[in-house]
């Protein structure tokens, strides 16, 4: 199993919700919720935040 697959198994519903809520707070500062720009920014920032969590996980490993 590769490391990313192992990382994915460590993500619980609660941790994903926390990452989503953190991301939503970040994006809400710059974009109006409900707009296409908000949706794109949310998806993009969510990906960035997940990659950051993955890098943190790799460092701890």
How confident is the model at residue 61, as a pLDDT?
A: 80
Model's pTM, two decimal places? 0.85
Residue range 4-54, pLDDT digits in tens: 899 999 999 999 999 999 999 999 999 999 999 999 999 999 999 999 999
Residue 27 lies in a domain: yes
Residue 44 lies in a domain: yes
Burial per residue of 28-47, b for 16 or more beta-carbon CB atoms within 10 angstroms, e otherwise = eeebeeeeeebeebbeebbe
How confident is the model at residue 2, as a pLDDT?
A: 87
Residue 7 lies in a domain: no
Separation of alpha carbons 35 and 16, rounded Å: 22
Q: Would the pLDDT of 1 be above 70?
A: no
**How many distinct structural domains can be found in the chain?**
1
**For residue 31, what is the DSSP state?**
S
Separation of alpha carbons 21 and 27, rounded Å: 10
Residue 23 lies in a domain: yes
């Amino acid at each position: 199993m590769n490391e990313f697959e192992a990382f994915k198994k460590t993500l619980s519903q609660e941790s994903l919700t926390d990452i989503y809520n953190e991301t939503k707070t970040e994006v809400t500062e710059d974009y109006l919720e409900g707009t296409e720009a908000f949706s794109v920014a949310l998806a993009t920032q969510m990906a960035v935040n997940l990659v950051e969590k993955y890098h943190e996980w790799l460092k701890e490993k």
